[in-house]
Amino acid sequence: MNPTSLLAAFAIAAVPLLAVAAEAPEPRRGAHPFDVRDLVMMDRVSDPQLAPDGRAVAFSVRSTDYAANKGVTSVWLLDLAQADAAPVKLATGSDPRWSADGTSIFYLADAKGSSQVWRVAARGGAPLQVTDYPLDVGTFRVSPDDRHLALSIDVFPDCESLACSKAKLDTHVPDRASGRLYDKLFVRHWDQWADGRRSQLFLAALGADGKASAEPRRLTPGIDGDVPSKPDGSADEYAFSPDGRTLYFGARVAGRDEPWSTNFDVYAVAADGDAAPRNLTAGNPAWDAFPLPSPDGRTLYYLAMRRAGFEADRFAIMALDLASGTRREIAARWDRSAGPLAISTNGRTLYTVADDEGQRPLFAIDVASGEARRVVAGGTVTGFAVGPHGLVVARQDFTHPTDLYSADADGENLAPVTRFNAERLAGAGFGDAEFFTFKGWNDAPVQGYVVKPVGYRPGRKYPVAFLIHGGPQGAWHNDFHYRWNPQVYAGAGFAVVAINFHGSTGYGQAFTDSISGDWGGKPLEDLKRGWAAALREYPFLDADRACALGASYGGYMVYWMAGVWNQPWKCFVDHDGVFDSRSMYYATDELWFEEWEHGGPQYVHPANYEKFNPLNHVKDWRVPMLVIQGGRDYRIPDEQSLGAFTALQRRGIPSQLLYFPDEHHHVLKPQNSVMWHDTVLAWIRRWTAPAN
């Protein structure tokens, strides 16, 4: 039996012990600690889009069909001009985008098993299917004159028509021989095996009947790259010029070097001609992305990194004068990495979201001076829209899932305009959270947070869940996380400690850079000092009843701690972590990450991969560990977790393996999420239970 079959059998055998109810939890109105069954049923509000006149906002809401074990996304509309107006559901679908005249909303929805563009009047009514193509539409944008759609569709590069790609795709259905022959990487990426298709940009004309042309025109022939990028690209990666005659987009054209290249460039292509796309950023060998034209069409703003091969470099905001070709950096002294941009209607202010000391605020950047200021501070901004009269912001924090808030252009008068989860939150108990700062590696200031357990009583001591974030260039934020939500542990009676160690984002680029080449050094020192500082500052933390948990890089750190810092811990939980740095290099998908973090390929710098390799310290493992793995995780493949579980079992250390054959680097399905949390909480309860 092959390893996958063995693991599938293990997962099936485990189900009766950890059974998950197939019926959706009902809203609970009485007082109760917040738990995973609350978490998975939250409505997830996202993607606010203001009408051209700013008087209404369209947005998406993902609800949970628990019995079907999936999320269901719908398009909603809220009239901002009417006081106390209630949101109205317009259709099942996602990615709402306004027509330029403000009378209707385009969106993506299912059409007989295929993702297509639809349209619905803003006043409501029967939706109209706009595209009817043999392949899925991935993303889209509406032209400023409402005459065209820009679309991304996965096609075979050598096909001239969508029908050709469809026919070629259909021939890939296995008959007798199921093998596929590859001659370059990516063979697999994130959670998909390559089938030879590329996401390409198309232009479709909209007819008088409101429907798109039968065969859209490809705008990116010869672009051997994906537009938008994979696996997480979006329509933010391309944009129309204000006159609709040009499309700007980002793409990586790297040939066989693609898995170890971060050289994305910004291109321009005429929407009304046959000219080839023109590279506007060929001089920068690093990452250029997220083009945004100014309202007058004279300037193209975009984001740019400086160092080739580094995915976590600072994204600087650049301004390109399209007439002269001159460019300058805006906000050069602002030591934060910008996200996708939006611009005010007068063209004087850019808006973006960036990590910032445990928060993720919305910033406004003055184009002329480069001054950056927080306009919506505190919590995490997950989306925003800029209109002629102000802002609509999607915001969350430790105790509030995302809702929409309105504000003026300076972020003043921030007020909620939706309350989607009010009923489910009523009576749910949350733990109080508090950020703290301590002297970390080299006595530099390092930040962390502590969450008190629900029902906290002074004078008592509580077991601790010590959470370690992934990335490694990531951070713990004041947010409402759906995979690592500290309130789930607080609701189960645990205190939570989380540290934003060296390498975390939001504390300046030098702080972020400091982890590269030093995975087991400075970050471990910060974790040690942060744990000691938390114990000094918060006497309710029980140092003798604590478990450490982490995923991805956090999982790597759990394996590393298991060998070099296992004294304080009663148990470990490791999700999709790196167990063997050497084999990880040859099995992962995006090689640029490994090569930057370790100074080059493993065969060139083998010592760098061994310096902090957890595999080399298995002889010192002693702490019970729960290992969790997604079978479709090609970023950190399942051989890593299998190797760790083998080491634990062979050494006789109490251990369990929880395997999800249908999940990737994250656990997303609602019932799988419940099983994940139930298993994790049962494990840490077992090992932190008070001694009799």
> All domains of the chain, ordered by start, with CATH?
3-17+425-688 (3.40.50.1820)
pLDDT of 518-568, one tens digit each? 999 999 999 999 999 999 999 999 999 999 999 999 999 999 999 999 999
CA–CA dist 595, 259 (Å, integer): 11
- What pLDDT, on the 0 to 100 scale, is given for residue 26? 56
DSSP helix/strand/coil, 260 = helix
Phi, psi angles (nearest 5°) of residue 52: -55, -35
pLDDT of 193-202, one tens digit each? 999 999 999 9
Task: State mean pLDDT over 451-478.
Answer: 98
Pairing of strands 445-451, 462-468: unpaired
pLDDT of 62-97, one tens digit each? 999 999 999 999 999 999 999 889 999 999 999 999
Residue type, 384: F
Sign of CA dihedral 71, 150, 267, 324: negative
- What pLDDT, on the 0 to 100 scale, is given for residue 630? 98
Residue type, 612: F
Q: Can you tell me which residue has the tokens 């993702």?
A: 115
- What pLDDT, on the 0 to 100 scale, is given for residue 18? 34
pLDDT grade for 343, boundaries at 50, 70 and 90: very high
CA–CA dist 83, 81 (Å, integer): 6
Across the chain, what does the average pLDDT equal?
Answer: 94
Q: Do residues 290 and 325 touch, judged by C-beta distance below 8 A?
A: no
- What pLDDT, on the 0 to 100 scale, is given for residue 173? 61
Alpha helix stretches (DSSP H) within 552-692: 553-564, 581-587, 591-598, 606-611, 638-650, 670-688
- What pLDDT, on the 0 to 100 scale, is given for residue 274? 83
Q: Do residues 59 and 456 touch, judged by C-beta distance below 8 A?
A: no
- Residue 240: exposure state from Cβ atoms within 10 A (0-12, 13-18, ≥19): buried
Sign of CA dihedral 440, 445, 446, 449: positive
Distance of CA 560 to the CA centre of its chain: 25
**Does position 629 have pLDDT exceeding 80, yes or no?**
yes
Sequence-separated contacts (24+) of 369-376 with Cβ below 8 Å: 370/330, 370/331, 370/332, 370/333, 370/334, 371/331, 372/331, 372/334, 372/336, 374/411, 375/351, 375/407, 375/409, 375/410, 375/411, 376/405, 376/407, 376/411, 376/414
- Look at 17-31, 280-294, 624-638 and tell me which has the smallest mean pLDDT: 17-31
DSSP helix/strand/coil, 220 = coil
Task: State mean pLDDT over 325-354.
Answer: 98
Q: Do residues 169 and 187 touch, judged by C-beta distance below 8 A?
A: no
- What pLDDT, on the 0 to 100 scale, is given for residue 175? 61
- What pLDDT, on the 0 to 100 scale, is given for residue 692? 67
Beta strands in 146-263 (DSSP E): 148-155, 188-189, 192-193, 198-205, 217-218, 238-240, 246-252
- What pLDDT, on the 0 to 100 scale, is given for residue 10? 30
pLDDT grade for 11, boundaries at 50, 70 and 90: very low
pLDDT of 563-596, one tens digit each? 999 999 999 999 999 999 999 999 999 999 999 9
**Does position 460 have pLDDT exceeding 90, yes or no?**
yes
CA–CA dist 351, 384 (Å, integer): 9
- What pLDDT, on the 0 to 100 scale, is given for residue 171? 84
